[in-house]
Amino acid sequence: MADDSARSLLDRVLRPGPSRDHTPLAATGRAGRNLPAAVTTAVVLVAAVVLTLWLFQPGFIALVVVLALGAAWELGGAFARIGVSVTMPPIYVGTIGILVSAWTLGLEATLIAMYLTVFVVIAWRLLDGSADGRVRDVVTSVFTVVYVPFLASFVVLLLAASRSAWMVAAFIAVTISNDIGGWAAGVLFGRHPMSPGISPKKSWEGFAGSVLACCAVGTGAMALLGADWWWGPVLGVASALVGTVGDLTESTIKREVGLKDMSNILPGHGGILDRLDSLLMTAPVSYLVLRAAMGG
């Protein structure tokens, strides 16, 4: 029985999904979330990030790897709902390779690791013997490689280049302020939907709140880092714009496959990718702006 359970678990990891739509926790406010559960989960995640960033940075890299593997697994399960088979084994190995390369060898090695992952993903699918849906499966698998481990690698690259926990903290704080500012302004003033066909609760008033919050936090972060203040609004506007697109991208995927949340791994938040969507999309632009601001 134990062996059967182990094989079942392994099968779910290597061939995830189709994901089930879990019943969310009861909402406690207009935002549609269970705030006590959401706050508790957020505190645990923040504590894990802070402790690893300041006390043991390889532990932070390990945390990024685990979250990226979980997010890739969620995507595999989501796409399985519409009959798309994501080639998970090479994506798991490639995720580790891309992120470890970013930490130890830099940007060029990261790009090579991504290329090798894409190559193996394509070859894996072409040689598996099933002719149905090959192009669709390959395109979706390549998208998963780029969307999760490659975008996540810029967080690792930022830390590897600077060895500064404060620079990574600045990136995370500005991106989180995008969600908080948008949520607060949307709840208080939201009247005009931004994209009702994708995310009905997202409003233009909320987006304005995101921009203001990101600019304020970005300016404070630049002052803390010792950079010119005007880099704060640059980082803020870019993060609000790109982060909102990242949020809408994940919302589009969920709407296409018929999911409310990617999973129920994070109580009060849904899945890992539900929390990483904005962070993933803003990581490259934050890497570029922060390094430019610091003269790197």
pLDDT tens for each residue of 123-143: 999 888 776 888 999 999 999
In percent, the amount of the chain with pLDDT more than 70 equals: 90
Query: What percent of the chain clears pLDDT 90, i.e. is strictly above it?
Result: 62
pLDDT tops 90 at residue 225: yes
114 vs 187, which has greater pLDDT? Answer: 114
- How does residue 34 score in pLDDT terms, banded at 50, 70 and 90? low
**Selected residue with higher pLDDT from 47 and 132:** 47
In sequence order, the 6+-apart residues with CB closer than 8 A to the CB of 292 are 231
Q: Which amino acid belongs to residue 208?
A: A
Q: Please state which of the ranges 67-71, 74-78, 253-257, 260-264 shows the lowest mean pLDDT.
A: 260-264
Task: Report the mean per-residue pLDDT for the chain.
Answer: 88
Q: Read off the pTM.
A: 0.90
Structure tokens at 289: 């702006």
Q: Is the pLDDT of residue 4 over 80?
A: no
DSSP 229: T
Element (H, E) at 203: strand 199-203
Phi, psi of 201 (to 5 degrees): -85, -10
Residue 30 pLDDT exceeds 70: no
- Angle CA 223–228–233, to nearest 5: 80
Cα-only R_g, the chain: 19
Which residues, other chains included, contact 34 with Cβ-Cβ below 8 Å and sequence gap of 6+?
24, 25, 26, 27, 28, 267, 268
The answer, yes or no, to whether residue 282 has pLDDT greater than 90, is yes
Q: What is the pLDDT of residue 68?
A: 97
Give the Cα separation of 217 and 276 in Å (integer). Answer: 19
**Does residue 184 carry a pLDDT above 90?**
no
Q: Which of 55-64, 170-179, 190-199 has the lowest mean pLDDT?
A: 190-199
